[in-house]
Amino acid sequence: MPLSIQNLTKTFQGFSALDAINLEVGDGEFLALLGPSGSGKTTLLRIMAGLDRPDSGTVDFDGEDFLAQTPRQRRVGLVFQHYALFRHMTVADNIAFGLKVRPRAQRPSKAAVAERVSELLRLVHLEGLEKRYPAQLSGGQRQRVALARALAIQPRLLLLDEPFGALDAKVRRELRRWLRHIHDETGVTTVFVTHDQEEALDLADRVAILNAGRIEQIASPLDLYQRPASAFVHDFLGGAVQLPGQVSDGELIVEGWRTRAPDGAPTGQVILGARGEDLSLADEGLETRIVSVSPRGFRTRVAVEIKGHMLDLDRPAHDPISDLAPGRTVRLRPDPIQLFKA
């Protein structure tokens, strides 16, 4: 594994930002660090980039001790949430910066720098804008310049800190697709920080879910979805309700509903996690009130309330749930039944 992090710990004035983090990132892998704000994901990224130092633990890259190296020696590309473009430089000068500040012996010739800049401008689809200043660009364009600037130094590792956090939803989705495309083209090992679960699941080969300075689970998006390791992971991926229940003698009791507990379920106090798409109409199940039904062409959004928890169900128009009248109370049964230890 090129990037290997062992037992990384960092505290800020008694607050534990990172708590014994272990993480491996494969060559050319696209890893997302996903978690709520304050979960330590940005701190972890800054330590990889060399902008912060951990209290203890190791960070190795290709067998080198990263922590013993300066940011310059690490050759890591970092993209910031608020772009951090050099405001007094043109787009071309921004992209060329990392090449121009190299020690004289390693500095490419002027022609080589210009060649590399236009190559990167093509890659990020900003040909013709090289003479503009950052203030004259849209947010999406700025972030593309920032990415080109980070790629110019041919980083061994590309780090992105909520790169689309400051952009609107449409541009976000566009840039997301485009970032994945660039990653596939360059093959650079990439770590991406986000608090947007959709973004992480869409983009990454694997996702590490952070909570209060600890990694809850590292898995592929599909595995996270199908086999969440904890109630936190299940909840953080969104679109779900969680209800307290009880398992004894192979029987599950949740809010008055009794059913057979799945094999291998924990016993005693449990939490039942039910995603909107796992629910279907049944004779027995969770008591559910239909709050509103909004048809949107092919799809219908049905807002329901399950024991005080609100949930939006996104269903095809022909789904039986889409036909229910608001105000009705029905029974919905989750399949699979996902249980976590309380």
Partner 1 sequence: MSAARRSAVRGAAPFVIGVGVLWLALVVLLPLGMVFAEAFRRGLEGFLQAFDEPDAWAAVRLTLLVAAISVPLNALFGLAAAWCISRYEFRGKALLTTLIDLPFSISPVISGLVWVLLFGTAGWFAPLLDALGVRVIFTVTGLVLATILVTLPFVARELIPLMQQQGADEELAALTLGAGPWAIFSKVTLPNVRWALLYGVLLCNARAMGEFGAVSVVSGHIRGLTNTLPLHVEILYNEYDFVGAFATATVLAGLALVTLLIKSLLEWRFADELAATRRH
Binding interface with partner 1 (CB under 8 A): 49-51, 71-72, 75-78, 80, 82, 84-88, 97-98, 101-102, 133-136, 146, 149-150, 152-153
Angle in degrees, CA 163, 77, 41, rounded to 5: 50
DSSP state of 136: G
Which residue, 152 or 339, is less far from partner 1 as judged by CB?
152
At closest approach, how far in Å is the CB of 155 from partner 1? 9
Helix (H) or strand (E) holding 316: strand 309-316
At closest approach, how far in Å is the CB of 144 from partner 1? 15
Which residue, 105 or 169, is less far from partner 1 as judged by CB?
105
At closest approach, how far in Å is the CB of 72 from partner 1? 4
Which residue, 151 or 247, is less far from partner 1 as judged by CB?
151
CB proximity list for 217: less than 8 A, separation 6 or greater: 208, 209, 224, 228, 229, 230, 233
Which residue, 124 or 337, is less far from partner 1 as judged by CB?
124
* 8 Å CB contact between 84 and 146: yes
CB proximity list for 11: less than 8 A, separation 6 or greater: 17, 55
Dist. CA 159–CA 46, nearest whole Å: 9
Which residue, 134 or 245, is less far from partner 1 as judged by CB?
134
Which residue, 155 or 285, is less far from partner 1 as judged by CB?
155
At closest approach, how far in Å is the CB of 68 from partner 1? 17
| Token couple for 236 | 């953080």
At closest approach, how far in Å is the CB of 73 from partner 1? 9
CB proximity list for 136: less than 8 A, separation 6 or greater: none
Which residue, 46 or 307, is less far from partner 1 as judged by CB?
46
For residue 170, count other CB atoms closer than 10 A to its CB: 9
At closest approach, how far in Å is the CB of 154 from partner 1? 11
For residue 58, CA distances in Å to 55, 157, 211, 292 come to: 10, 17, 20, 52
At closest approach, how far in Å is the CB of 203 from partner 1? 22
Q: What are phi and psi of 214, to 5 degrees?
A: -125, 150
